[in-house]
Amino acid sequence: MRDPLTSLINTPAAPRQKLMAIIIGSVMFVISLIAIPFASTPLIHIKPFMSIVIAWVMFGYFMTSYLLYIQFQVTRYKPILILSATFLYSGLITIPEILTFPEVFAQEGLLNAGPQSPIWFWICWHAGFPLGVFMYAFSLRRWSFASTERKGKAGSGAIFGGVIVILAGLTYLLTKHHELLPVIIRGGKYNELITMGIGPVLSLMNLAALVYLYVMTRGQSLLHLWLLLSVFMLFLDLAVTQFAGARYSLGWYLSCVNSLISSTVVLFVFFHQMNRLYVRLIMSQSALKQSQERVALILDSITDAFFAVDRQWGYTYTNKEAEKYYGFTFDEVKGQSIWEISPQLAKTKLSEMCHRVMDQGEPVEFTEYDKLRGRWLEIRVYPSRDGISVYFRDVTERIVAEEQMKEANKKLQMANRLLTDFSYTDGLTGVYNRRYFDQMMQQEWERMKREKSPLSLIMLDIDYFKKYNDTYGHLAGDECLCQVAQAIRTVVIHPLYVMARYGGEEFGVILPQTDAAKAMEVAEAIRVYLESLAFPHTASEVGSIVTCSLGTATRLPEHTLPDDTPSMLIAQADQALYLAKQAGRNCVVADTGIVIARK
């Protein structure tokens, strides 16, 4: 937890970063203050503006929640889990808000909501975020250190599950029972937000969360500094909104800008800091490697310390380095027993190894820590005609450098894993992306060539997806892509199979060690399962639900065919997919011409 390479919560905020946060907060405060007298001035009604704002806000909250959860997995520090759940709640609550917002997806909104539903979702959003921040700040006092337990999955599942349950309950109450909600919007105005006291209460909640967070953290860490700015921007959002009094006014547009900054400022700092940490890790690894080489060069140039004893353990010789290390001269200890001069050595590994060499006559080499002097020694013991000879050198710097290198490598590997996850994962569906698909396609092709096993490929396309977008909107289209991806992943459970989003509404499944018949069987299982989920698609010409068309292809990679490449297999699967669409869609077609049509 105290290591800034593993936790941003304890990365100290630099003076320049504090100044930047103060400047951003001050500029937005001054702009908001100047705009308040003109907040109710009506402006142009830009219908797509609300969709853009909510999309940005959702992205900011969800990505911040995800990165905070990664921080929790690394540190096991429970307050970070609470903060992650807070950002998740704020992102999720905006979904029903935009769905019920008038003139976005429907004239009166979706979910059978009433005219008061959107403003109450907005209230729940602006009440939940400061409440979560307050709980986070309070938990900092309870959990001062990271937990060493590995029971995080159950705890995180309970917290995130609780967030989902709360969101589901709020959505049900604010849509199905909207007639019971107190009226805030009248004739397009929401002045009741102030007269009913709701707006001032929300403002006080945000202000209290801001003050309490500052008292608990003082904004000393990087995370806490920008989290304070996030809460402050949400407070400005509330303040300006109350003076605006109506949608699409000057104050309403300005409050949306404040919301955008509030939802994404922590995320931008995460990305910036991750890039800095990655660069520092690379530089640290290079510096440690150079240091290790210098230490090794120095140690190689130093003459080893050396002493010899006879079979009665009396000193017969010591060189200058040994005298310097032990603090006595050879003349002082000549003929005297080593165990009498240095009784602390009697119970050490050095004593054990010396007795073994004296008895067995075989040399040994080992490393031991000298507790008395706090040094690591590399020791070699050899048998001699009269007794034994002992050579040793101080290797403390080398061992410390090696430990530092190991620690730096661990941290670098952790950063690499995070970056790899981002580069190979599709940001929308959460499955592997085209880049990973191409890499695994080439890898499995070469492996099947060596093993002389068949390689199959399934290409899948959602039927009439453009009409789906035209009918339900792009946000619903994105959700449809996620549902289809999850359906494919549910069916494709074989550990060797690789499923990825190929592009747009097209997905690919790589099936190593799989013949054509088995590939058709897997493809048909995907088609049937997706059809059984019965996601509505009224614009589809196949039916009233979401369906897919699939093409399969199978090849046995050969060394003797130079034109036999993964691209050829992809082209065959694409051709089979094309034939499936020509055959009426919602069916499976193999490159051999075999068709499994829908029942």
Which residue, 250, 271, 292, sits at the end of a domain? 271
Which residue, 382, 398, 414, sits at the end of a domain? 398
305-310 and 375-383 as β-strands: parallel, antiparallel, unpaired? unpaired
Q: For residue 296, is it within any domain? A: no
C-alpha torsion sign, points 350, 352, 355, 359: negative
Task: Report DSSP state, residue 307.
Answer: E
Residue 425, beta-bridge partner list: 432
pLDDT in tens, 165-199: 998 998 888 888 878 888 888 777 877 888 888 88
Kindly give, in sequence order, each residue whose CB lies less than 8 Å from that of residue 484, ignoring residues fewer than 6 positions away.
462, 505, 507, 530, 546, 548
Average pLDDT over residues 475-487: 94
CA-atom Rg of the chain in angstroms: 34
CATH number, domain containing residue 341: 3.30.450.20
Q: Are residues 590 and 524 in the same domain?
A: yes
Q: Are residues 88 and 138 in the same domain?
A: yes
Better-scored residue on pLDDT, 564 or 332: 332
pLDDT of residue 479: 95
- Count structural domains, the chain: 3
Q: Are residues 352 and 496 in the same domain?
A: no
**Cα separation values, 494 from 5, 435, 511, Å:** 36, 21, 9
CATH number, domain containing residue 480: 3.30.70.270
Distance CA 249, CA 311 (A): 99
Cα-Cα-Cα-Cα torsion 55, 58, 61, 63, nearest 10 degrees, comes to -80
Q: Are residues 429 and 370 in the same domain?
A: no
**Residue 13, SS3?**
coil
71: domain range? 51-271
pLDDT of residue 562: 65
Q: Are residues 167 and 228 in the same domain?
A: yes
Question: Which ranges of 302-360 does DSSP label H, i.e. alpha helix?
Answer: 320-326, 330-333, 338-341, 349-360
Residue 462 has pLDDT above 90, yes or no: yes
Q: Which of 335, 328, 332 is nearest to 314 (CA)?
A: 335
pLDDT of residue 296: 37
pLDDT in tens, 342-353: 888 888 888 888
Q: For residue 262, is it within any domain? A: yes
Q: Are residues 451 and 581 in the same domain?
A: yes
Q: Which residue has the tokens 């921007």?
A: 233
pLDDT of residue 298: 45
Q: Are residues 312 and 208 in the same domain?
A: no
Residue 550 has pLDDT above 70, yes or no: yes
Tell me the pLDDT of the chain averaged across its residues: 85
**Cα separation values, 512 from 129, 447, 503, 524, 589, Å:** 47, 9, 21, 17, 19
pLDDT of residue 4: 44
Which tokens go with 486?
A: 């999850």
pLDDT confidence bin for 439, thresholds 50/70/90 = very high
Q: Are residues 386 and 491 in the same domain?
A: no
pLDDT of residue 27: 92
In sequence order, what DSSP letters do the residues of 451-480 get, joined into one string? HT--EEEEEEEETTHHHHHHHH-HHHHHHH
Q: Which residue has the tokens 């959990």?
A: 143
Q: Are residues 326 and 440 in the same domain?
A: no
Q: For residue 15, is it within any domain? A: no
Q: Is 360 left (phi over 0), alpha (psi -120 to 50) or beta?
A: alpha
Residue 245 has pLDDT above 90, yes or no: no
pLDDT of residue 295: 40
Which tokens go with 4?
A: 């800034």
C-alpha torsion sign, points 88, 477, 545, 531: negative
Q: For residue 30, is it within any domain? A: no
Q: Are residues 393 and 454 in the same domain?
A: no
Q: For residue 106, is it within any domain? A: yes
Q: For residue 408, is it within any domain? A: no
Distance CA 8, CA 82 (A): 15
Check: pTM over 0.75? Answer yes or no: no
pLDDT of residue 2: 43
Q: Are 102 and 108 in contact (CB under 8 A)?
A: yes
Q: For residue 99, is it within any domain? A: yes
Q: Are residues 557 and 431 in the same domain?
A: yes
pLDDT in tens, 359-403: 998 999 988 888 888 889 888 999 988 899 998 888 888 888 888
Q: For residue 62, is it within any domain? A: yes
Q: Are residues 220 and 315 in the same domain?
A: no
pLDDT of residue 405: 84
pLDDT in tens, 119-166: 888 889 889 999 999 999 998 887 755 554 455 566 788 888 888 999
pLDDT in tens, 307-333: 899 999 999 988 888 888 888 888 888
pLDDT of residue 574: 95
**Buried residues in 188-199 as b, exposed as e (16+ CB within 10 A):** eebbbbbeeebb
